[in-house]
Chain A
Amino acid sequence: MATLTVDRPTLTPETAPAAPTRRRPRGLTGTLLLYAALLILSVIIVAPLLWMLSTSFKTTGDATAMPPQWIPPEPSVEGYTSLFADAQAPVLRWLANSVLVAVLHTVLVLVTASAAAYPLARMHFRGRNVVFALIIATLFVPGFVFLMPNYLIVDQLDWLDSIWALVVPGAASAFGVFFLRQFFASLPEALEEAALIDGANRFQIFTRVVLPLSKAPLATLGVLSFLGSWNDFLWPLYVLFNPENLTLPAGLSTLRGSYATDYPAIMAGAALASIPVLILFAFVQRYVIAGVARSGLKG
């Protein structure tokens, strides 16, 4: 599936908020020990990323020099320039493809999931339980089951090797519908009733009352969808053909062969793929973490 991230856990948040109860550390030694532990762990987490950045500014020789040197002895943008100059690795094109795909995909998820979640939360209609149960049931089916049939379906639609193969198939976000439906159901109905009395129709209520109240969950879902699409790897690897059409993760994986030991160029590619998401994450980490945190809370 398009945004299927078979490598990683997926999220199923609930809307129950967390009650923050924090425990104090014990005494000065305790605090120092705590900081020491956290710092060591942070180094383990951050060092590889810094090494990636550092290597991307090294010369090919320095990249494999021993002992390791953290500050490039002769800073160089060779890695970046050789990558950009390479007709076989149109990295900027990949970057643009990835952004386009992730944005379109995210928009499609938000529009379809919120529209579907609203009637499931607020309206009575024939088949509602069945539809909702079906959606929930698919949360239980591992994504790789869809791999081969969807390949054939996308082929039949003549979508192979086009961005639609990445944007649309994964956009049926059962998780998104479930997540937003729970939130919509928790909203007070008084506001909607007032709008109804004012003569608004359902669609107006949805766009003018419900959606503006749902910015936080929409942001969470949006960010998670964006990340899922941006990082997807397996599916683009198989449905895209032309190097020009690849997304960054799929494209980067092809660098392994051609740049076997040109580490500055490879790390430049890796840095290009990670810096945008790390910056995005820095700004929206609240939503991401909130979304993940809710997933485990008792339902």
Chain B
Amino acid sequence: MTATTPVPAPVRAVASVRAGDPGRAPHRPRAWTPYAFLAPFLLIFVTFVLAPALYGFWMSLHNWDFFLPEQPFVGLQNYVELFTPGALVAQQFWESMRATGIFVVLSVPLLMVIPLGLALLLNRRFRGRTFFRAVFFAPYVLGVSVIGLLWQYLLNANTGLVNGYLTQLGLDEKIPWLTALPWVWVSLVGVTVWWTMGFNSVVYLAGLQGVDENLYDAAKVDGAGPWREFVHVTLPELRPVILFVLTMTILASANMFGQSYLLTSGNPSNETRTAIMYIAQVGLEQFRMGKGAAMSYLLALLLILVSALNFVFLRQKER
């Protein structure tokens, strides 16, 4: 799980390290001992995380075609091209960024609100609570390849279960869930919500359980109904968790690849080809790795910016 979601918690950890407070009374070991402990991890870390992070940037400054005998240095040309109006790569890249953007805008609100509702339900005391929690979480443990195969079958316009039931309900026209706008987005977002809502719910739930019960009692004394209680107690108390879930969900949605790859193959006419899918195509199918690397860095920069903004926002609210 090297992947890498910016979250607030580790940042505070960095801060605490700087403050020099790891444990209370660290022993002074022999000089080489800590390095010996760290060595296996660092070997892998340097080779597969640190080096590639820099190497990728280096690649992005070259015309790095896997099959060319030479990879000439081109400076920032790969980046410039992404901003050249009319250039095919720029067109297709921004088209894919648009697809990613649409997916983020459509999926994030649903993935924020529905799991919160679910968590509120699960936060009550009743029999079978653990069971239901596990059921809602279950789809998340399945990989995207299973999700893709399953929903491709369920959403097939002619033979799928979904249209089968809709026909029985009296819908005459078969809905092209996986082949036409706007249905492709409904499908991709719907499947993603089905797949990952349990994850966000569990995070919310933990947050809800941390809310001080006394605050609710106080609200009750003030004569607040359930709605005002929710608005004036639950939401403010959950703010850090909500911002954390928001950051995480935006990043996960911006990383979307498998659903499009498996369900719509980017169709119709590349409308659902996401940025990651396009980057993989350019870099690892067409082997234009320099261009692919440049796109990765641009997208990564944007995402880090979004996380940073969220983080700043979180810090301000906490103060």
Contact = CB atoms under 8 A, between A and B. Distances in A.
Check whether chain A touches chain B (CB < 8 angstroms): yes
Interface of A: 1, 3-12, 14, 18-25, 31, 34-35, 37-38, 41-42, 44-46, 48-49, 51-52, 55, 63-64, 66-68, 108-109, 111-113, 115-116, 118-125, 128-129, 131-136, 138-153, 168-178, 182, 185, 189, 196, 202, 206, 224-225, 227-228, 230-234, 238, 248-250, 252-253, 255-256, 261, 263, 266-267, 269-270, 273-274, 277-278, 280-282, 285, 288-289, 292-299
B71 to A, nearest CB: 11
Interface stretch (B89-97, B124-132, B179-187): B124-132
Contacts of A119: 29, 33-35, 37-38
Interface in B273-319: 276, 279-280, 283-284, 289, 292-293, 296-297, 299-300, 303-304, 307
Interface in B232-254: 240-241, 244-245, 248-249, 251-252, 254
- Output the residue of A14, A224, A230 with the most chain B CB within 10 A: A14
A38 B10 contact: no
B176 interface: no
27 contacts: A6-B276, A8-B196, A18-B209, A18-B210, A22-B124, A24-B125, A38-B121, A45-B139, A48-B154, A48-B161, A116-B37, A119-B29, A119-B33, A123-B34, A128-B17, A136-B14, A142-B4, A147-B283, A152-B289, A174-B49, A225-B1, A228-B1, A234-B257, A234-B276, A269-B149, A281-B138, A292-B203
B38 A116 contact: yes
Contacts of B148: 253, 256
B300 A296 contact: no
Nearest 7 pairs of A and B residues by beta carbon: A231-B143, A299-B9, A143-B3, A119-B34, A293-B206, A149-B52, A116-B41
> Interface residues of A: mostly helix, strand, loop or mixed?
helix
Given A119-B34, A151-B284, A145 B45 contact: no
A299 B8 contact: yes
B303 A232 contact: no
B284 A153 contact: no
A118 B151 contact: no
Given A136-B13, A148-B293, A252-B149, A41 B300 contact: no
Given A5-B144, A149-B52, 4 more contacts: A48-B150, A109-B1, A147-B283, A253-B262
Interface of B: 1-14, 17-18, 20, 22-29, 31, 33-35, 37-38, 40-42, 44-45, 47-53, 55-56, 59, 118, 121, 123-126, 129, 132-146, 148-154, 158-159, 161, 164-165, 167-168, 194, 196, 198-200, 202-207, 209-213, 216, 240-241, 244-245, 248-249, 251-252, 254-259, 261-262, 276, 279-280, 283-284, 289, 292-293, 296-297, 299-300, 303-304, 307
